[in-house]
Structure formats: C-alpha cells, structure tokens
Amino acid sequence: MTDNDVPGGHSATVGLPGRERRSDGAARAVPRHVACVMDGNGRWAQRRSLPRTAGHRAAEATVIDIIEAARSAGVEWLSLYAFSTENWNRPGAEVDYLMRLVRRVVRKHAPLLLARGIRCRFTGAADPRIPHGLARDFDDLTMLTGDNRGMTLTVAFDHGGRRDIVEAARALILSGTPADEVNERLFAEYLPFPDTPDVDLVIRTSGEQRISNFMLWKVAYSEWVFPEVLWPDFRAADFLACLHTYQRRARRFGGLPSQTNGDSR
C-alpha cells in the first residue's frame, strides 16, 4: 500500500491517538484544519442512470455525516468546497438546482449545527447570480451560530482561490501599504477569514487529483489524500481512514523529520 492509499477496512470506532509525535517523525495528531473537495456527485448519479442532480441530493447525507465525524474526532476547523467560481460554467439547470439544494440544506440543518456548537461561515458568495434568499440564509446561519465555540465549519461557496488572492492584493494596494512592508504575514491578513489556520489535510474524493482553485494560499503545505470513493458514498469510516493516513505522514515543511533535528549528517 502506498502512502496515498486510504485503507478501506478501518473501523470508525478506532480511537484517534492524541497529539503526541511519533518516533519516526510523523505528526501523530488529529489534523487541526481539514478541508474536503466534495467531488463525484455527478458520476455517482450517472452510474445509477440517474440525473446528475440526484448525486447532489445524495451528497447531503455525506455532508452531515462528515461534519459529525470531524467534530467528534476533535477537528477544530472543517472547510467544505461546495461550489467553485468555475462551477458557474455548468448548465443553468444544474446551477439552479444546486442553489435551491444548498438553501434547503442550510435551513434544514441550522438547528442541528447550533445544538452541536458548530460555528458556521461562508467564504466566496460574491457573485450577483447567487439568489438573495440564499445569501440571506448564509448570513442568518452565520449569525445564529456566531457565538458557538465548537468546531468552525467554513463552506466555500462561489469560492475561487485565485480570486481571493487577487482581491487581497487589491485591498492591500488600496490600503496604501508601502511595498517594502508587504510580507507573507501581512498579505494573509487581507485574505478572507485571516483567523483560519492553514489547512493540514485536504481530502478530495472520487479519485481526481487536482486542486481546482481551492484555498490556494492556505493549502501551500497541506497533506493531500485522494480516496477513490465518490462523495455521496463517503462516510465517517472513510473520513477516519483519511485521518489515519495523515497521521502516518511525516510533515517536513522543507526541513527534516524531527528525529534528525540536530543530526543532519
């Protein structure tokens, strides 16, 4: 099995080790920030000779399952990629369906998210084509859960990593900051939700292995896993298997594994 493989047979009940570091340098910790590229809804439906929209509808159960799995595993930040700036290129009927579906999901699950202590927020959502009612529901859920102190759930909707970077650059220029004062730390403050830590682990379902313009700045040093399972079939056990895969990785950030610190012969 390669490091990229996500084992299938993991039990969802296997407890995750705490935040200690292993002797081989692997960061044996629950990733603090996990982000999911929720991919494969269309193929899930096509394999069942159903319209693509049926795959989007089936994705709802996975979303709820994964939010709960992440929360109970001790993940502090969960980001879900729900709609990209490029997804506007899809047929109008599919886009309309997604807008209606997301609205229904947000309204339906608001009480559960509140009760679980999850703080919800949305990144993106800038395009005037987003229905007013949906934008209002995003604001309402953000307000409703704003005082929660459990996991922070960020839904990337109408999100584009490049757009975020361009808008940060524009805001920085408009602020009049002298060029020689611009550094990575300052630049990051102009990105949406600067309190959000870098992503530790990205899970992209359906076997596709690309970034697709997702949180470009914050995934600079993320670990990635690419389970073959399609998003509507992805469940808590699969999510925990991804966390275990992450725990076997040695994160180096350009340095050396921790056990060789001070001994770089």
Which residue among 3, 5, 39, 127 is the active-site one? 39
What are 213's two structure tokens? 């313009």
Whole-number Cα distances in Å, 25 to 29, 158, 249, 253: 11, 38, 8, 12
Has 4 been annotated as catalytic?
no
**Least distance between Mg ion and beta carbon 88 (Å):** 14
Closest residue by Cα to residue 245 from 213, 220, 222, 214 = 222
CA atoms within 13 A on the CB side of 1: 9
Please, is 110 exposed, middle or buried when counting C-beta atoms within 10 Å of its C-beta (0-12, 13-18, 19+)? middle
> Are the CB atoms for 137 and 107 separated by under 8 Å?
yes
Q: Which residues pair with 172 in a beta bridge?
A: none
User: Residue 87 — φ and ψ, nearest 5°?
Assistant: -70, -10
DSSP string across 75-107: -SEEEEEEEEGGGGGS-HHHHHHHHHHHHHHHH
Site for ligand IPE in 127-156 (CB under 6 A): none
Of the pair 95, 256, the CB lying nearest ligand IPE is at: 95
Give the position of tokens 């340098």. 25
Per CB under 5 A, the list member of 39, 158, 200, 238 interacting with Mg ion is 39
Closest residue by Cα to residue 191 from 212, 222, 221, 160 = 160
In whole angstroms, what is the distance from residue 56 CA to residue 247 CA?
30
> Are the CB atoms for 191 and 217 separated by under 8 Å?
yes
Has 87 been annotated as catalytic?
yes
Site for ligand IPE in 63-122 (CB under 6 A): 81-84, 87, 98
Q: Which residues pair with 120 in a beta bridge?
A: 153
Give the position of tokens 């805001």. 171
Site for ligand IPE in 39-68 (CB under 6 A): 39-43
The entry of ligand IPE, Mg ion, none near residue 37 (CB within 5 to 8 angstroms by kind) is ligand IPE
The entry of ligand IPE, Mg ion, none near residue 212 (CB within 5 to 8 angstroms by kind) is ligand IPE
**Least distance between ligand IPE and beta carbon 44 (Å):** 7
Of the pair 39, 223, the CB lying nearest Mg ion is at: 39
The entry of ligand IPE, Mg ion, none near residue 104 (CB within 5 to 8 angstroms by kind) is none
Site size toward ligand IPE (CB under 6 A) is 17
The entry of Mg ion, ligand IPE, none near residue 210 (CB within 5 to 8 angstroms by kind) is ligand IPE
The entry of ligand IPE, Mg ion, none near residue 177 (CB within 5 to 8 angstroms by kind) is none
The residue with its CB nearest to ligand IPE is: 42
Of the pair 90, 244, the CB lying nearest Mg ion is at: 90
- Sign for the pseudo-dihedral over CA of 210, 213, 215, 221: positive
Catalytic residues: 39, 87
Annotated binding site for Mg(2+): 39, 223
Annotated binding site for substrate: 40-44, 52, 56, 84-86, 88, 90, 204, 210-212
Annotated binding site: 39-44, 52, 56, 84-86, 88, 90, 204, 210-212, 223
Residues of the shown chain interacting with ligand IPE in the complex, contacts defined by CB under 6 A: 37-43, 81-84, 87, 98, 206, 208, 210, 212
